[in-house]
Amino acid sequence: MDDFDDEHSGARRIKEEANNLVGGMGEHLSQHTVNRRYSAHFGATIHMTYLLWCMLDVENEGPHGATIMHLLWTLMFLKMYGTVDTLSTTAGVNCNTYRKWIWLLIPKIAGLDGLVSFVCVVACLHECWLY
């Protein structure tokens, strides 16, 4: 299980996992570049991903064994809507493993109460901070 001491360590871990998955988010880049690349792959900010992970409460609610990497696979699938064949290759796993985890997490995400409101508020705040 992924358990974070605080939000900062959670965001750092998500960034590391995203860099392991797709690359291009190294320490030498500006935060703006990292955020833009992250959003291009996953359709959310690192902070939104952290909050989503907390809302999913995987440790208590399941699916048991799910990790941040599985959430990133799911977000990448939802953002890019590529085929499982191509996205599982990017993830470095077989199609069945990729399919298993994304389809365990998609209904969990869809079933979150208040998710649309949450996303709208965070997106608005994010836009305000950028400009």
pLDDT for the residue 131? 41
List, in order, residues 6 or more apart from 96 with CB less than 8 Å away: none
Length in residues, the chain: 131
Assign 28 to helix, strand or coil. coil
Which of 59 and 126 is assigned the larger pLDDT?
Answer: 59
The 8-class DSSP code of residue 92 comes to: T
Q: What is the Cα–Cα distance from 40 to 23, expressed in whole angstroms?
A: 12
Total-model pTM:
0.81
User: Does pLDDT of 86 surpass 90?
Assistant: yes
Instruction: Provide mean pLDDT across the span 101-119.
Output: 80
* pLDDT mean across residues, the chain: 83
CB of 109 within 8 A of CB of 74? yes
Given a cut of 90, whether residue 96 has pLDDT beyond it is yes
Which are the contacts of 69, defined by CB distance < 8 A and separation ≥ 6? Answer: 17, 20, 21, 91
Q: What tens digit of pLDDT does each residue of 30-49 get?
A: 888 888 899 999 999 898 89
pLDDT over threshold 80, residue 27: no
- What are the residue boundaries of the structural domains of the chain, listed by start? 7-130
Tally of helices (H runs) and strands (E runs) in the chain: 8, 0
Confidence at residue 67, expressed as pLDDT on a 0 to 100 scale = 94
As a three-state string, the secondary structure of 51-66 is HHHHHHCHHHHCCCCC
The confidence score (pLDDT) of residue 95 equals 95
How far does CA 19 lie from the centroid of its chain?
A: 12
